[in-house]
Structure 1
Amino acid sequence: MITRRGFIKAGGLALFGIGSGGIPAFLANAVAAGKSPGLFRRKKVLICIFQRGAMDGLMAVAPFTDPYLKAARPTLFMTAAKTSDNPLIDLDGRFGLHPSLHALEPMYRESRLAIVHGIGSPNPTRSHFDAQDYMESGTPFKKGTPSGWLNRAVGLLGHQAATPLQAVSLTSSLPRSLYGDNPAVAISNLQDFNIQLRGNQAGADMAAKSFENLYDQTSLDLLKQTGKETFEASKILQSRDLKNYKPANNAAYPAGALGNSLKQIAQLIKMNVGLEVAFAESVGWDTHFNQGTRNGIFARNLNDLSQSIAALWADLGTFQDDVMIMTMTEFGRTVHQNGTGGTDHGRASCNFILGNDVKGGLVYGKVAPLAPENLEDGRDLIVTTDFRSVFNEVATKHLEVSGSNVLFPEWNGNALNVMRN
């Protein structure tokens, strides 16, 4: 006997679209008709931002008093000295926030933003593809894990989704983090949805055919009806005038892809459509050459990241208590700069965690003096905090899920205690 929910889970229905704008009209109509009980209950939301390409944590949050860092980066080193032009933002007398991250400083001073330094994967690979796969699957020593850690987190929430928007990635395709048996959607924009079937071979074999024709051919009446209803819903999506959406508190989102993604996440949260896990991406962090210091590609990426996060946080307003934002990146960069004014693939980096339940205003983790004898392979910042210890703590405490052995099945470490009780 195939149930509607069983079909959704087995088929792994993913939705994605192009354009810009609002919320599907069928969701609002379903709520109005009483078809989705409890849809408007406030829910806790975890937003993860993947910085793809490997962010240089030693420049984003620099141990600026370390003489070894200064020697290793003769043209990339930055200081917090007030006499310098656009200095680092001194956080605690040892670590300095890159000036392009200035939009995050108020949250840090208000103890809402925590920074974890020396974070990374225990797997020493320097392959972008492998490192991202391991981090998103949450199994850094096991290839081929069929599910992602965020999808498993959805499965541990203890309740079924009231809508297809319980777990949403604001990307053109579903990220590795959200692969799995639990429903998740990938939406490049909230208007003009198309439909893509994932998860079974029959669907994959017929992916080139239209969605409507695909379901015309099925011999299972319930499967056919479910598909038809979803197709009909996709045809009647309407904007609800969210093209003219006005962010709260004069929040100004950058015009780039990340800003647009976070703006749409804010819309979903504030419309109470059942969102609990959200995912977005920031790209361009592979800075092998001409990395720059106060200006350049790295500074521009940091500015876009911080301005996007700050705009989202301001826009959330009274919803801030429900939301946690966490960044991640597959690995860091070498301590020494290379011959082309950049940095190469390294090991540990840093990440940012923002929320009212964070014990913020601190830089967590261990970063030893960057003397050669303290570096991995004589070149890299050592990973002293397994990313799973932070991801697990944030997910279990904020989303109130239990089952760390399911969320990260190969890990039995301790929390870093970045969250309030």
Structure 2
Amino acid sequence: MLSRRLFLKSTALIGCSAAAHPMLSSMTFADAPGENRLVVIILRGAMDGLDVFQPYGDPELRQLRKTLSAGPDKGAQDLDGFFALHPSLAPLMPLWRAGELAFAPAVSTPYRDKRSHFDGQDMLEAGTGTDVETRSQRDGWLNRLLQTMPGVQSETAYSVGLEDMRILDGAAPAKSWSPQTRFKLSAQGQRLLAHVWHDDPLFRPAGEQAIEIINDDLARIEPAEGPARDAQALARFTADRLNRETRIASFSISGWDSHARQGPVIDRALQRLGTAILTLRADLGANWSRTTVLAMTEFGRTVRENGTGGTDHGTGGAMLVAGGNIRGGRAIGGWPGLAEGDLYAGRDLMPLRDIRAHAAWAMRDLFDIPRDVLERSVFPGLDMGENPRILG
């Protein structure tokens, strides 16, 4: 059965919030001219960038985090003598050495202080930089990007799980697909259902989507076994579309909310993220050399671990960048430090750059979108600043 927006009402009591729940995910796709490809992965639940890209060279880290992993001597992979990669992402080290993996530390959206998963994700995907309670613009920044590109049409937008992705909300049409959905319906049954829902404004679009998927070989994609099976299915589906007409894709990976026992929580999430990236690289083949992957989260987590071996909602986080056409093997941007006077509100990593600027420059260099269009229409009010030269 295809999931509908109304089922969101039933998710309010799941975990910290439905927005952070590991079973919720979604994906979107769009056509675009040219050969470059962009994949945006939304990491729902607030990924702890300090644990994924560990600044073990900062002397304050070990005092702030006495039990969480903190450098190569605890199994992390040294990157540059200052940062180390979480052990669960060790399979990505060949990408780092090949210049196909990078990260931007100390980044965030303009969202501050309230630290709500729903609001933070809403602002990340809307890309407006304005307060979620007062803004009138409800579409997503990928949809606004499409509207600035002549001749571009949204091919398909798939929602997996129970929630929709605001990032492609707007004038472009949307469809749904789940890697765990199985459709078996005869041609006669398809015609009968089409007749039944013909005049129903709610179920007709969903039914037509289901019929299209039934007749598409992609519906037969089978996920692998293990904790990363869904992430692999999402990535395989995405790669298949990108190997066709699709040039812009987005999906989400949830399960990053680590208030307690962060070790196993982030380990599972990182396995899923790593599997998704490696699956994209393998299945895209030659097209990997024209692909940029941006993995973004709604906000970071506190610099101090709490009493239950976890971390709480914070501010500054990190963005992972991958792809065959990036300038990898480096940290993109500066480091604010972890001393008491360097922290935001005395508790969080201080963000040095708006994460939207990194996304904007990637789109500028991938699709030749004018800077003023990006700052005015795609990310209204954004000052992109200096080009971080994410692409090679």
Give the TM bin, normalised by the shorter chain.
0.7 to 0.9
Counterpart CA distance in 1 for 2:277 and 2:258 is 22
CA spacing shift, 1:217–1:56, aligned 2, 3 Å: closer
CA spacing shift, 1:76–1:69, aligned 2, 3 Å: same
1:64–1:78 Cα contact (<8 Å) kept: yes
2:39 maps to 1:47: yes
1:212–1:231 Cα contact (<8 Å) kept: no
Q: What are the residue-to-residue correspondences of 1:224-303 with 2, within 5 Å?
A: 231=208, 234=211, 237-240=214-217, 243=220, 255-270=228-243, 272=244, 274-292=245-263, 296-303=264-271
2:127 maps to 1:138: yes
CA spacing shift, 1:192–1:90, aligned 2, 3 Å: same
CA spacing shift, 1:298–1:235, aligned 2, 3 Å: closer
Counterpart CA distance in 2 for 1:252 and 1:239 is 23
2:32–2:247 Cα contact (<8 Å) kept: no
- Which deviates more, 335-344 or 118-127? 118-127
Q: CA deviation at 1:369?
A: 2.4
2:145 maps to 1:153: yes
Q: What are the residue-to-residue correspondences of 1:185-196 with 2, within 5 Å?
A: 185-189=175-179, 192=183
Q: CA deviation at 1:401?
A: 2.9
Counterpart CA distance in 2 for 1:236 and 1:306 is 27
Counterpart CA distance in 2 for 1:379 and 1:109 is 33
Q: CA deviation at 1:358?
A: 1.2
Counterpart CA distance in 1 for 2:89 and 2:110 is 27
1:376–1:382 Cα contact (<8 Å) kept: yes
Counterpart CA distance in 1 for 2:209 and 2:91 is 43
Residue of structure 2 aligned with 1:164, choices 144, 155, 161 = 155
2:182–2:219 Cα contact (<8 Å) kept: no
Q: CA deviation at 1:305?
A: 1.0
- TM-score in terms of structure 1 length: 0.74
Could you tell me which amino acid in structure 2 is paired with residue 388 of structure 1? Answer: R
- TM-score in terms of structure 2 length: 0.79
Provide the residue aligned with 1:205 in structure 2.
Answer: none
CA spacing shift, 1:67–1:217, aligned 2, 3 Å: closer
Identity percentage of aligned residues: 32
RMSD of the TM alignment (CA)? 3.2
Q: Deviations over 1:62-99 (max 9, x none)?
A: 11122211001111142213xx5xx2111100000011
CA spacing shift, 1:254–1:268, aligned 2, 3 Å: farther
Secondary structure of the 1:287 match is coil
Provide the residue aligned with 1:34 in structure 2.
Answer: none
Counterpart CA distance in 1 for 2:247 and 2:64 is 43
Secondary structure of the 1:359 match is coil
Counterpart CA distance in 1 for 2:342 and 2:229 is 39
Secondary structure of the 1:298 match is helix
2:320 maps to 1:343: no
Could you tell me which amino acid in structure 1 is paired with residue 178 of structure 2? Answer: S
Counterpart CA distance in 1 for 2:176 and 2:210 is 17
Q: Deviations over 1:229-262 (max 9, x none)?
A: x94992793254873789xxxx999643222111
Provide the residue aligned with 2:344 in structure 1.
Answer: 376
Counterpart CA distance in 2 for 1:291 and 1:334 is 12
Q: Deviations over 1:174-202 (max 9, x none)?
A: 301111012343322487499xxxxxxxx
Provide the residue aligned with 1:115 in structure 2.
Answer: 103
Could you tell me which amino acid in structure 2 is paired with residue 282 of structure 1? Answer: I
2:56–2:84 Cα contact (<8 Å) kept: yes
- Which deviates more, 331-340 or 405-414? 405-414
1:327–1:353 Cα contact (<8 Å) kept: yes
Could you tell me which amino acid in structure 2 is paired with residue 330 of structure 1? Answer: E
Residue of structure 1 aligned with 2:384, choices 408, 413, 416 = 413
* Length, aligned pairs only: 346
Counterpart CA distance in 2 for 1:217 and 1:57 is 46
1:171–1:186 Cα contact (<8 Å) kept: no
Provide the residue aligned with 1:59 in structure 2.
Answer: 51
Q: CA deviation at 1:359?
A: 1.2
2:332–2:388 Cα contact (<8 Å) kept: no
Q: Deviations over 1:275-323 (max 9, x none)?
A: 122111111111001112xxx1212211221122112212211111332
Counterpart CA distance in 2 for 1:188 and 1:129 is 22
Counterpart CA distance in 1 for 2:71 and 2:163 is 40
Could you tell me which amino acid in structure 2 is paired with residue 135 of structure 1? Answer: L
2:372 maps to 1:397: no
Counterpart CA distance in 2 for 1:52 and 1:389 is 20
Counterpart CA distance in 1 for 2:69 and 2:209 is 57
Provide the residue aligned with 1:128 in structure 2.
Answer: 117
Runs (5+) with no aligned partner, structure 2? 6-30, 186-192
2:228–2:275 Cα contact (<8 Å) kept: no
2:41–2:294 Cα contact (<8 Å) kept: yes
Q: Deviations over 1:132-182 (max 9, x none)?
A: 111110012243422100111122222133x733x5555554301111012
2:227–2:271 Cα contact (<8 Å) kept: no
1:55–1:329 Cα contact (<8 Å) kept: yes
1:103–1:306 Cα contact (<8 Å) kept: yes
Q: Deviations over 1:94-147 (max 9, x none)?
A: 000011111221111111222100011122131111111111100122434221
1:170–1:278 Cα contact (<8 Å) kept: no
CA spacing shift, 1:414–1:289, aligned 2, 3 Å: same
Could you tell me which amino acid in structure 1 is paired with residue 177 of structure 2? Answer: I
Could you tell me which amino acid in structure 2 is paired with residue 265 of structure 1? Answer: T
Runs (5+) with no aligned partner, structure 1? 1-13, 15-38, 195-209, 219-226
CA spacing shift, 1:130–1:244, aligned 2, 3 Å: closer
CA spacing shift, 1:192–1:48, aligned 2, 3 Å: farther
